[in-house]
Structure 1
Amino acid sequence: MDFEAAYIVDSVGETPTTFKSAMESSDSGKWKEACDSEFDSLQRNDTWEIVPLPKGRKAIGCRWVFRVKENQDGEVERFKARLVAKGFSQKFGVDYEETFAPVAKFTSIRVVLSMAAKYGLMLHQMDVKTAFLNGSLNEDIYMDQPDGYLDATQPDYVCKLKRSLYGLKQSPRMWNQTIDGFMIKMGFKKCESDHCIYIKRDDQDMILVVLYVDDLILASSNNELLKSTKVALSKRFEMTDLGELDYFLGMEIKNDRKTGMVTVQQTKFLKSVLTKFGMDNSKPVKTPQDPGLKLTKNMCEQECKHEDTMCNVPYRSAVGGIMYLMVATRPDLAAAVGSLSQFSSDPCPTHWQALKRVLRYLQATPNHGLEFTREEGSRICGYTDADWAGDIESRRSTSGYVFMMSGGCISWKSQKQRTVALSSTEAEYMALSEATKEAVWLKVLLGELGEMTSDEAIKMYEDNQGSIALAKNPEFHKRTKHIDIRYHFVREKVESGEVVLEYCPTQDMLADMMTKPIAAVQFKNIRDRLGIQGAAANESRGSVEKTAAVKKTPRQAASSVEASGRPSFAIPVGTGMYQ
């Protein structure tokens, strides 16, 4: 959210950077009102006390941060000011120790959205006001008084912080520990696979809470359960109830419970990226990459005069913009982002033209995003592929995988392999191992959410018979003795029955777009089947066939799951962390 918000503000226009510039701007009245509101909130939370600075201690600074907050339509919603401590001046062991705090994974968020489509769950959102102020500090930290709000009776004194103010290195951790303890107290169970996903259920109903710093998604099958959770949260923290979920982390979300369809897109952010780089009137193209162009670092040597032309080109910023789109809602950008990001330190004109092609593709698909649907008998499945020796300089291969659930893509990755593969089979085998790691994690998450039982396996499709044989037959020593031992992880999981491998023809391989540039017709076919909004045929999405639940029989898939009427959210015996 921080990246998306900062990126949009930068593209909209000037925002004050100091208290003085805010008070001298044309909107000084609105900025002063925002500062007053923030200061009053700090006072109500008893954030600090005014004291003389102890001898031998140094006070850290603070500053005002200003932001124009917009709604999903790009309209100004309100002016916001926040007082932040200059945490960069804190000293380890004196002002802070532990700093890590988790946030929900994007994959976990998409899993929750896919479950909402499957079960017709209500999706709501809440925001915690001044969330970090709810965390108490274990250290004595002194801070200068804020600009514009100096205590006239004690101007030489400093603020001794009682609460974890924004900007402090430990503030996110303190806040997370505070809300985590409260969620457990309310009867929620924290997922071990993602510590920012909480679940509470009884025999008939359930509620899920997704935590991303101070933003919450609530997904529930029961309105009374949803209301009671909101009331409990609002009594403990100062909350804003934002109603039905429609805008989260820069993603525009629509939940049609009647049809069982949840759509997720980033049209507003996408258009801001195009505007920022002057590509909002560019000529659209059908694919993000040219299949006939291989990008290399040697291009910079060949285009020896590129330094003068590239010094002011915002290459890194543009890569960052499309990367955020790819991470959240656009798996069709994964291969392009992976390729272009390799040249961020020293791009040449050809690299910049290739990046502009991605922007032109976005110009053609501004409303595309993920679409999850209610599909009878649909189960999670994965696809994995590799482009053998695709990098013409290093001859390393590119791995790719996608995982499908409720007709849409919930997880994807495109990554260059760490070592050179000696054959296409080896490249596919190493890609399969990476996909298996994701499958195992997804199995644990889905088990905790009640979507898989311990005797079910995740089916993964592979278009290389040799790699399937290597995964199932460890006696092929001559062909595998030189492969890093970590890649043999897949064998263990196949043997235990946690994953089941199945061959699919290359034309049905949905992970193909993750590994290399492909032609427009093939690209569109895969994009449609990945459940990206605008797909033509719902019935063809996400699977070579409808994947039934796969029982945990080593090396063998068993059969089907009967469709039930109203979903039951009782905890399956032996499921995930509940066994």
Structure 2
Amino acid sequence: MNIVRSIMISSCELPLSFWGDTAECVAYIRIRSSTKANAGGRSPLELLTRTAHDLSDIVVFGSPCTVHRDTRNKSIGERGERGVITGKSDEVKRYRSNIPRSKTVVVTQHVRNVKTLKKEQNAHLRRVHLAYKTEAEEIFGVKTSDKQLEAVSVQKLKGHGQKTAWTCDIHRTRSVCRKDAETNVRHDSKRIGEARNVLNSVREPDPKNYVEVMRSELKEKWQIAMKEELEALEDNELWAVEVPPHKSHVLHTKWVFKTKTDGDGSIERFKAPLVACDNEQVFGVDYGLTFAAVMELSTVKVLLILALRWGVPARHGDIPNAYVKEGKEQQLEIFLAIPQGMIVVESVLNKLGVDTKDKLALRLKKSLYGLKQAGRLWSQLQHANLVDAGFTRCLTDMCLYLKHQDSETTIVGVYVDDLLVTVSKIILVREFFDEMRSLSIKDLGQVSKFLGMRVALNDGRYLLDQEAAFEGVLDQHGVMNAKGVRSPIGEENNDTEDDPVFLTVQSSTKNEPTMRDFQSLVGSLLWLARCTRPDISFAVHKATRRTHRPTTNDWKLAKRIVRYLKGTKSMKFEMRITDKNPKGFSTASWSDSDFAADK
């Protein structure tokens, strides 16, 4: 506090109401300044983060300045306002400036005309800077010539006639020496980071269509995946090759190429499911009702907790080609065009009396992926099989099934073709998969990845994370090099916009974000928040308030959430048993403080 008093009373002559800003600025500099108390003169924050921090851009507290307004603001008026610099943001590279006229604090990087030290003070600071030359060489073992150091001093420490932001703190000069001495080290670190990014991006992106597969370096692997898909569909007697009736509605198909990875992001297998183009379907002609429920994500976590309580690890079940196991609606006739890459032998062409496969179509006997009603038909088949096996559907979650037998319990959660099985006794696992043999359910063993979540059982607790999925989000939106921040939302995200700038539907430049970019990014963040990152829930839901017409500030908020996740991507969602009572379960409930406004 003595430093605070000295700055406010002797140096800046600011009102006492600025004492909080002064203390925050002092703390910002102190924790980033080198100290003899630590080995090598490292700063407290450097010991904590193992990263050297630069103070060369610190501005003298209380310096008068001009704060520039957003140049995208098209209103007629001044482009700048007089302000006073009251510190630097702790999370972004911006300055905190107090605007006396409006009595507001602005966090911005558009600060100009900073009036700081006088000529005499500049000369003193330059002498102090030169005095640290020897110390810098002793600490870092890198020699800096007098000419180079003097050039740095002259450039960094010019008088008030220049529009340069800098600091009068003595530790600032030390960090300048540190910065010069560590140039080679930082360049090496940068090269290592770039090499790591190259290694992470070696994997070829998934092809978007059949043409890209034919040009891909992994062409043979994708062709094998397509061949396996066609063989599986034909083994299930999914269709019959026929000449379609005149003026019949024929749907096109497309291949969806997907590289399946394990929890660590390593390639597991190549998949190429054949799907129908549902955008060509006509209601009443080739589809009817379409609703199909999926398991709640909260149910997934409840099942994992039950597995911990019973001491039997949860099992993961998978049903290959699930949708093709159920027949279609009897009253509907659905025809598909011959898929790309499918070969029709000459004997079939001669039998049907045609000379080319373009005149043929596939008449569906069963459902197929992509059809609007496929999910509903599969859900009905799965429900019928579970009920026949003695299971009862839960009243609160239509995709949760329970079975009680001789004081033992089996619980199954269904998410389309993925099953999460929790039992009170290990022998019930084999019984369940034997009973569901008609659906060809695969027992994948102890659950390790479910719905994109990596699930790890460690010391009697489940750890969930989506690090691999988040890396995909970073790569998709081109923010792999984003720097981490400490919180998903900041002070600048709470301000209301007087003259908002809305995102466009189509970008005029490559780097300009569009409305679709924002919606895609926020959708990915919403899924992460629901699965394993509840700490970003408030920020994400704030960003989704204007998905129909987002602004540049909404885009900045979404990017800030990404930066927060980048810095905490290794964070895991932990689930453990806190109640040690082995006899039963205890239920706890929560509600909001005003009980939903007494409704």
Rounded Cα–Cα distance in structure 1 between residues aligned with 2:312 and 2:223 = 41
Rounded Cα–Cα distance in structure 2 between residues aligned with 1:302 and 1:81 = 39
Q: Secondary structure of the residue that 1:366 maps to in structure 2?
A: coil
Code of the aligned partner of 1:266: Q
Q: Tell whether 2:490 aligns with 1:290.
A: yes
Deviation at 1:133, TM superposition (A): 0.5
Which of residues 338, 348, 358 is equivalent to 1:145?
338
Indicate if the aligned counterparts of 1:11 and 1:276 stay in contact, CA closer than 8 A.
Answer: no
Once superposed, what is the RMSD of the aligned Cα atoms?
Answer: 2.8
**Counterpart for residue 322 of structure 2:** 131
Rounded Cα–Cα distance in structure 2 between residues aligned with 1:331 and 1:134 = 37
Q: Secondary structure of the residue that 1:219 maps to in structure 2?
A: strand
Which of residues 111, 114, 118 is equivalent to 2:309?
118
Code of the aligned partner of 1:236: S
**Counterpart for residue 252 of structure 1:** 454
Q: How does 1:77-476 map to 2 (within 5 A)?
A: 77-138=268-329, 139-151=332-344, 152=346, 153-154=348-349, 155=357, 156-233=359-436, 235-256=437-458, 259-291=459-491, 293-296=493-496, 298-300=498-500, 311-312=512-513, 314-376=517-579, 379-385=586-592, 429=594, 432-433=595-596, 471=598
Q: Tell whether 2:69 aligns with 1:69.
A: no
Deviation at 1:303, TM superposition (A): 11
Which of residues 190, 208, 211 is equivalent to 1:20?
211
Indicate if the aligned counterparts of 1:299 and 1:348 stay in contact, CA closer than 8 A.
Answer: no
Deviation at 1:302, TM superposition (A): 11
Code of the aligned partner of 1:149: M
Indicate if the aligned counterparts of 1:117 and 1:255 stay in contact, CA closer than 8 A.
Answer: no
Q: How does 1:427-576 map to 2 (within 5 A)?
A: 429=594, 432-433=595-596, 471=598, 487=599
Deviation at 1:287, TM superposition (A): 1.5
Code of the aligned partner of 1:75: S
Deviation at 1:279, TM superposition (A): 4.1
Structure 2 CA distance for partners of 1:274 and 1:380, relative to 1, 3 Å: farther
Structure 2 CA distance for partners of 1:11 and 1:118, relative to 1, 3 Å: farther
How many residues were matched structurally?
380
Deviation at 1:125, TM superposition (A): 0.4
Deviation at 1:270, TM superposition (A): 2.0
Code of the aligned partner of 1:300: P
Q: Secondary structure of the residue that 1:33 maps to in structure 2?
A: helix
Code of the aligned partner of 2:586: R
Q: Which runs of 5+ in 1 are unaligned?
A: 1-8, 386-427, 434-466, 472-486, 488-579
Deviation at 1:202, TM superposition (A): 2.4
Code of the aligned partner of 1:120: G
Rounded Cα–Cα distance in structure 2 between residues aligned with 1:10 and 1:211 = 34
Indicate if the aligned counterparts of 1:123 and 1:255 stay in contact, CA closer than 8 A.
Answer: no
Q: Secondary structure of the residue that 1:14 maps to in structure 2?
A: coil
Code of the aligned partner of 1:312: P
Rounded Cα–Cα distance in structure 2 between residues aligned with 1:276 and 1:222 = 43
Code of the aligned partner of 1:147: Q
Indicate if the aligned counterparts of 2:502 and 2:552 stay in contact, CA closer than 8 A.
Answer: no
**Counterpart for residue 81 of structure 2:** none
Q: Which runs of 5+ in 2 are unaligned?
A: 1-199, 350-356
Deviation at 1:209, TM superposition (A): 0.9
Deviation at 1:334, TM superposition (A): 1.1
Rounded Cα–Cα distance in structure 1 between residues aligned with 2:246 and 2:482 = 62
Rounded Cα–Cα distance in structure 2 between residues aligned with 1:10 and 1:97 = 43
Indicate if the aligned counterparts of 2:484 and 2:567 stay in contact, CA closer than 8 A.
Answer: yes
Rounded Cα–Cα distance in structure 2 between residues aligned with 1:253 and 1:84 = 29
Indicate if the aligned counterparts of 1:319 and 1:340 stay in contact, CA closer than 8 A.
Answer: yes
Percent of aligned positions that are identical: 29
Deviation at 1:308, TM superposition (A): 6.8
Rounded Cα–Cα distance in structure 1 between residues aligned with 2:531 and 2:449 = 13
Deviation at 1:158, TM superposition (A): 1.4
Deviation readout 1:118-155 (Å, 9 max, x if unpaired): 33232110111100001111122111122221424332
Rounded Cα–Cα distance in structure 2 between residues aligned with 1:316 and 1:97 = 30
Code of the aligned partner of 2:287: Y
Structure 2 CA distance for partners of 1:363 and 1:189, relative to 1, 3 Å: same
Structure 2 CA distance for partners of 1:274 and 1:78, relative to 1, 3 Å: same
Rounded Cα–Cα distance in structure 1 between residues aligned with 2:434 and 2:309 = 27
Indicate if the aligned counterparts of 1:119 and 1:260 stay in contact, CA closer than 8 A.
Answer: no
Rounded Cα–Cα distance in structure 1 between residues aligned with 2:264 and 2:373 = 35
Code of the aligned partner of 2:487: T
Rounded Cα–Cα distance in structure 2 between residues aligned with 1:29 and 1:50 = 26
Indicate if the aligned counterparts of 2:503 and 2:550 stay in contact, CA closer than 8 A.
Answer: no
Rounded Cα–Cα distance in structure 2 between residues aligned with 1:248 and 1:30 = 25
Structure 2 CA distance for partners of 1:166 and 1:318, relative to 1, 3 Å: same
Deviation at 1:12, TM superposition (A): 6.3
Which of residues 49, 71, 81 is equivalent to 2:240?
49
Indicate if the aligned counterparts of 1:102 and 1:195 stay in contact, CA closer than 8 A.
Answer: yes
Deviation readout 1:375-420 (Å, 9 max, x if unpaired): 22573434444xxxxxxxxxxxxxxxxxxxxxxxxxxxxxxxxxxx
Deviation at 1:47, TM superposition (A): 0.1
Rounded Cα–Cα distance in structure 1 between residues aligned with 2:321 and 2:333 = 21
Rounded Cα–Cα distance in structure 1 between residues aligned with 2:492 and 2:217 = 52
**Counterpart for residue 543 of structure 1:** none
Deviation at 1:35, TM superposition (A): 0.8
Deviation at 1:178, TM superposition (A): 0.7
**Counterpart for residue 437 of structure 1:** none
Q: Report which of the two structures shows the higher radius of gyration computed on alpha carbons.
A: 2
Code of the aligned partner of 2:283: F
Deviation at 1:88, TM superposition (A): 1.6
Rounded Cα–Cα distance in structure 1 between residues aligned with 2:398 and 2:415 = 10
Code of the aligned partner of 2:449: Y
Structure 2 CA distance for partners of 1:302 and 1:124, relative to 1, 3 Å: closer
Code of the aligned partner of 1:93: G
Structure 2 CA distance for partners of 1:199 and 1:303, relative to 1, 3 Å: closer
Query: What TM-score results when the alignment is normalised by the length of structure 1?
Result: 0.61
Structure 2 CA distance for partners of 1:372 and 1:302, relative to 1, 3 Å: closer
Structure 2 CA distance for partners of 1:303 and 1:147, relative to 1, 3 Å: closer
Rounded Cα–Cα distance in structure 2 between residues aligned with 1:112 and 1:224 = 18
Deviation at 1:280, TM superposition (A): 4.1
Deviation at 1:90, TM superposition (A): 1.4
- The more displaced of 38-47 and 57-66 is 57-66
Deviation readout 1:203-261 (Å, 9 max, x if unpaired): 4321111110011111112221101111222x2123332111010111111234xx431
Bigger relative CO (Cα 8 Å, ≥ 6 apart): 1
Indicate if the aligned counterparts of 1:252 and 1:265 stay in contact, CA closer than 8 A.
Answer: yes
Rounded Cα–Cα distance in structure 1 between residues aligned with 2:503 and 2:266 = 44
